[in-house]
Structure 1
Amino acid sequence: MPPGVAYPAVLSQQPPWRALLGIVLALAGYTVVTALVSSAVVGAGYLAQQPGVPLGDYRAAAVRYQNPVGFLAQSLSIAAVIAVCWALMRWLHGLPLGWLSSVRPGLRWRYLGWCLLAAAVVVYGIVAATAVVGPQPLVWRPQPGLVAVLLVVVLVTPLQSAAEEYLFRGYLLQTMGSFFPTPWVGVILSSLLFAALHGSQNLPLFVNRLAFGLLAATLVLATGGLEAGIAAHIINNVGAYTLAGFTASIADLRAVRSLGWSDAMLDVAGFALFAVVAVLLARRLRLPVTTPATPTGSGGRR
């Protein structure tokens, strides 16, 4: 990899047809892999539990997250997208997955740890403040099977969150960066796709997800890697699923299709505040935002 290359331009040294083919294969792989893994997990759960209902009814309940197996199936299916990104980088581009992690290449674990801490303080602080001063107090009503749900949240949700960052802010941002002289086209297109693939939603909820995608992608440009976006995504999802498990259910959270403008803007403000902190941390740690002058391994530790 030549020195001085910004993160969105990592794949720009290769023929454009590879990037175009990669985008098609990434989206197809996302669709196929998530469907296959989800079906396999639900099928295995049905065989293991022997629930005494038709498979179709069991599968429908799983899709709505009405049992922990459905939540596990969905989480694992998205987590498996990391394998899609690895395969495309390895076999189509001839590069290790580390070049999607950062320009070092590889995950900068120290920075990731600090970003996780900062995201937890900002996001959970806002949630706690809202619970205290909000018009409706939280009602603690743990859902059935809470232990199983929390195990999925702790063990799988971080991988699921990271996989979305590797696909949207990583691979798609880099492949789109091969076609346009400015990285902002890739930032906008990948963020629109990220928000749209969340399914049916009202305008405030779509704007909320779009804003998260735009902020996460901007952090990639500002820090030279995915660590800040991964941290924000993990903290947001772990917190949302955990809170839903204790106060309602994962199924209720899965069924949400609308959000008020005030709640949407509060979330965006929290993400924006974290983004500022993440950039300041990156500067404090003196993280490079372009590829190094001397080739390094694929497992950066900074």
Structure 2
Amino acid sequence: MSPARPPADLPPHDPVIALGGSRQPIRPPESGVAYSAVLRGPDHWPVRSWFGLAFALFGYALVVPIVNQLLNGLFWLIWGQGATFGQWFARATAYEMPQGLVAGHLALATLIPISMVMVVGWHRRPRQFLSSVQPGLRWRYLLLCLPIAAVLLNLVLWIGQGSIPEFSAPHGWWWWVLVIVLCSPLQAAGEEYFFRGYLLQGIGSLSRHRWVGIVASALVFALFHGVQNIWLFIDRFAFGLLAALLVVITGGLEAAIAAHVANNVFAFGYAVFTGSVAGTRAVQAIGPTQALMDVAGFALVALACWWLGRRLKVATTTP
């Protein structure tokens, strides 16, 4: 008599063995669960999430800098004009030239495929559930959230400053505008898919309390922005909290992506006409008033996008 064999649909005992997916099929999440719980289920192993989070952070630290250097190397070969690569790279990463912004933003856009590879290849979930619980990216909702975020963030900025900023057009301004409009949305989406997407779901799979994933993903997001004073840290941490909360209560990344895109496009756009993109890139400190105004703007955007989601009856749990 042959020895007893476990049913084929049981999860493997060692989740690391299933990285290639040969022993575990791709399965949708359980029905009726929130966005942060998409990776949970009967086939979920906590150690899988711990390994997944470690792999994702390692991928961020490895892939993003490599892509940034490769793109800057290509741009240096085309536009270097006698400068050494070290000189070019220093200026490019400081965003003193539009090519540097292209390289930096496209490098961060690689966080989208990194996140999808983790969800599909490691956790064995359909990639569409990374975008929303519907599943898939709800384009109509995203495109309607964009003008809401743009209007509210600008209104709060102008009220906070007491007037509309004065503009002056520098030489080559149209190159900067073109690069910002084309590349900043990809960079913003990349960060949302990674921090409010995979990290939120990965951490959320380890705890049944959704606030654990919301707070932890926001903390990692703020820390990954490098050197900053306490008020700038609070500014970024608050944005991460509100964006993650918005993702959970609307069931997807669309509103958070819209808010992030609007914030970055206008932040860099204003920098072109009121100062310099390099100056905005180099900011490491802000005051409490600016932090308060920024958080107020983010909160208004989150509230408006949540209301819009309710009006559109967007799905907030898996089907």
Q: TM-score range by the shorter chain?
A: over 0.9
Asked if 2 retains the 8 angstrom alpha-carbon contact of 1:35 and 1:77, the reply is yes
Q: Name the aligned partner's letter for residue 253 of structure 1.
A: T
1:77 and 2:107 are equivalent in the alignment: yes
Higher alpha-carbon Rg: 2
The range that moved more, 237-246 or 106-115, is: 106-115
Which residue does 1:200 correspond to in 2? 227
Q: For 1:124, which of 154, 161, 166 is the aligned residue?
A: 154
Asked if 2 retains the 8 angstrom alpha-carbon contact of 1:172 and 1:190, the reply is yes
Q: CA RMSD in A?
A: 1.4
Q: For 1:111, which of 131, 141, 164 is the aligned residue?
A: 141
Q: How many Å separate the matches in 2 of 1:128 and 1:290?
A: 37
Show the 5 A alignment for 1:29-48.
Answer: 29-48=59-78
TM-score, normalised to structure 1's length?
0.92
Q: How many Å separate the matches in 1 of 2:237 and 2:279?
A: 22
1:99 and 2:129 are equivalent in the alignment: yes
Q: How many Å separate the matches in 1 of 2:217 and 2:173?
A: 34
> What does the per-residue CA deviation read over 1:103-139, in whole Å, with 9 as the maximum and x for residues that have no partner?
00111111112211211120122223345x25xx734
Query: 3-state SS of the aligned residue for 1:156?
Result: helix
Q: How many Å separate the matches in 2 of 1:9 and 1:105?
A: 14
1:254 and 2:262 are equivalent in the alignment: no
Q: 1:249 to 1:144 in 2, by over 3 A?
A: farther
Which residue does 1:22 correspond to in 2? 52
Q: How many Å separate the matches in 2 of 1:120 and 1:65?
A: 23
TM-score, normalised to structure 2's length?
0.87
Query: 3-state SS of the aligned residue for 2:40?
Result: helix
1:10 and 2:28 are equivalent in the alignment: no
> What does the per-residue CA deviation read over 1:155-193, in whole Å, with 9 as the maximum and x for residues that have no partner?
111011011111111100111111112011111111011
Query: 3-state SS of the aligned residue for 1:259?
Result: coil
Query: 3-state SS of the aligned residue for 1:78?
Result: helix
Query: 3-state SS of the aligned residue for 2:36?
Result: helix
> Structure 1 residue 144: deviation in Å?
4.1
Query: 3-state SS of the aligned residue for 1:278?
Result: helix
Q: For 2:197, which of 141, 165, 170 is the aligned residue?
A: 170
Asked if 2 retains the 8 angstrom alpha-carbon contact of 1:142 and 1:248, the reply is no
1:218 and 2:248 are equivalent in the alignment: no
> Structure 1 residue 143: deviation in Å?
4.0
Asked if 1 retains the 8 angstrom alpha-carbon contact of 2:105 and 2:184, the reply is yes
> What does the per-residue CA deviation read over 1:191-238, in whole Å, with 9 as the maximum and x for residues that have no partner?
011001111011111000000000001111211111111110000000
Q: Name the aligned partner's letter for residue 73 of structure 1.
A: A
Query: 3-state SS of the aligned residue for 1:291?
Result: coil
> Structure 1 residue 52: deviation in Å?
1.1
The count of aligned residue pairs is 289
Q: How many Å separate the matches in 1 of 2:279 and 2:77?
A: 26
Q: 1:57 to 1:158 in 2, by over 3 A?
A: same
> What does the per-residue CA deviation read over 1:56-107, in whole Å, with 9 as the maximum and x for residues that have no partner?
1111111111111111111111011111012112211222321111100111
Which residue does 1:295 correspond to in 2? none
Which residue does 1:286 correspond to in 2? 313
Which residue does 2:95 correspond to in 1? 65
Which residue does 1:298 correspond to in 2? none
Gaps of 5+ in 1: 293-302
Q: How many Å separate the matches in 2 of 1:232 and 1:167?
A: 15
Q: How many Å separate the matches in 2 of 1:55 and 1:6?
A: 48
Which residue does 1:296 correspond to in 2? none
Query: 3-state SS of the aligned residue for 2:38?
Result: helix
Asked if 1 retains the 8 angstrom alpha-carbon contact of 2:80 and 2:88, the reply is no
1:182 and 2:209 are equivalent in the alignment: yes
Q: Name the aligned partner's letter for residue 84 of structure 1.
A: I
Q: How many Å separate the matches in 1 of 2:235 and 2:111?
A: 23
State the structure with bigger RCO (CA 8 A, min sep 6), 1 or 2: 1
Asked if 2 retains the 8 angstrom alpha-carbon contact of 1:142 and 1:249, the reply is no
Query: 3-state SS of the aligned residue for 1:239?
Result: helix
Q: How many Å separate the matches in 1 of 2:315 and 2:102?
A: 37
> What does the per-residue CA deviation read over 1:276-300, in whole Å, with 9 as the maximum and x for residues that have no partner?
11111111111221101xxxxxxxx
Q: Name the aligned partner's letter for residue 220 of structure 2.
A: L
Asked if 1 retains the 8 angstrom alpha-carbon contact of 2:158 and 2:165, the reply is no
Q: How many Å separate the matches in 2 of 1:96 and 1:19?
A: 16
